Amino acid sequence: MNLAIDELQKMFLDERQIESSRLIMGLDTQLIDDGTYFVIESDGKLAGCGGWSRRETMYGGDQTPGRSPALLDPARDAARIRAMYTHPEHTRKGVGRLIIELCEAAARAEGFTRMELVATLSGEPLYRACGFEPYESLVDNRGGAGVPLWRMRKNL
């Protein structure tokens, strides 16, 4: 996760924004406790990770303020895609796409018909390739320098 945050965002963010983004990205142990987080291995090594959520929080790690563990209603709410990170040595091999497919299947099995996420600029091309559409831009400046983000959504 740290390598992905530090290396793969260099194309999109300056040093201060990357530093700032550490507050709003990273490990969310709730996803692991919920059993909605996937790890992809290659030759026994971590190639990527990511997951989905049936809880309200849109993005962020354990250290991010303002999170809500409230459960979503599949009949009314969109499930979330969360915390997607590919090891820099394993990008563009389909790791991210594979995780999104696993997440969509799992959310669909629980009755969700829509998904939403908040994308970094680094994540946006992956989500777009997977059928998500941006519908609102925002800037998160809680970590200092403003980090541009996109709200994206998809019907399952």
Ligand X SMILES: CC(C)(COP(=O)(O)OP(=O)(O)OC[C@H]1O[C@@H](n2cnc3c(N)ncnc32)[C@H](O)[C@@H]1OP(=O)(O)O)[C@@H](O)C(=O)NCCC(=O)NCCS
Binding site for ligand X (CB under 6 A): 4-5, 8-9, 48, 84-86, 91-97, 119-120, 122-123, 125-126, 129
In the bound complex, what is the minimum distance in angstroms from residue 145's beta carbon to ligand X?
Answer: 16
In the bound complex, what is the minimum distance in angstroms from residue 146's beta carbon to ligand X?
Answer: 16
Q: Are 95 and 46 in contact (CB under 8 A)?
A: no
Alpha-carbon span 72 to 51, nearest angstrom: 16
Alpha-carbon span 153 to 128, nearest angstrom: 10
Query: 142, 143, 151: which is closest to 119 by C-alpha?
Result: 151
> Whose Cβ is closer to ligand X: residue 54's or residue 140's?
140
> Whose Cβ is closer to ligand X: residue 28's or residue 54's?
28
> Whose Cβ is closer to ligand X: residue 111's or residue 144's?
144
In the bound complex, what is the minimum distance in angstroms from residue 24's beta carbon to ligand X?
Answer: 10
Q: Are 124 and 69 in contact (CB under 8 A)?
A: no
> Whose Cβ is closer to ligand X: residue 76's or residue 119's?
119
In the bound complex, what is the minimum distance in angstroms from residue 55's beta carbon to ligand X?
Answer: 16
